[in-house]
Amino acid sequence: GQQLNQSPQSMFIQEGEDVSMNCTSSSIFNTWLWYKQDPGEGPVLLIALYKAGELTSNGRLTAQFGITRKDSFLNISASIPSDVGIYFCAALNYGGSQGNLIFGKGTKLSVKP
């Protein structure tokens, strides 16, 4: 079946550093999404991408929909302690045959003050 390979699995960084994570697949998607899960909560949507090559920002977060439509990237600039959590990529082929959102296994981010 379709799979998303998300890396890195975990990151432990200093406050103020920039963070990069990515998600790749052997399949093509027309929608990429990034979620964040705070400890003890459900995932919350951060950014949605709908077009190959699209670059979208949400505050200090920037995500890109890869040109090949097989990958996506998330960058966090100048990390702060509240960025701690698990970040999930997700992908979908909207409008195609019934297919649900597929999730990567997550990147666990820890920030050292």
Partner 1 sequence: NAGVTQTPKFQVLKTGQSMTLQCAQDMNHNSMYWYRQDPGMGLRLIYYSASEGTTDKGEVPNGYNVSRLNKREFSLRLESAAPSQTSVYFCASSGTGGLYGYTFGSGTRLTVV
Among the candidate windows 13-21, 29-37, 58-66, 76-84, which touches partner 1 by CB under 8 A? 29-37
In angstroms, rounded to a whole number, what is the distance separating the alpha carbons of residues 89 and 113?
A: 26
Contact 22, 72 (CB under 8 A): yes
Among the candidate windows 18-26, 56-64, 67-75, 91-99, which touches partner 1 by CB under 8 A? 91-99
For the CB of residue 16, give the shortest distance to partner 1 in the complex, in Å: 29
Contact 36, 87 (CB under 8 A): yes
If one asks whether residue 39 binds partner 1 (CB under 8 A), the answer comes out as: no
If one asks whether residue 67 binds partner 1 (CB under 8 A), the answer comes out as: no
Contact 111, 83 (CB under 8 A): yes
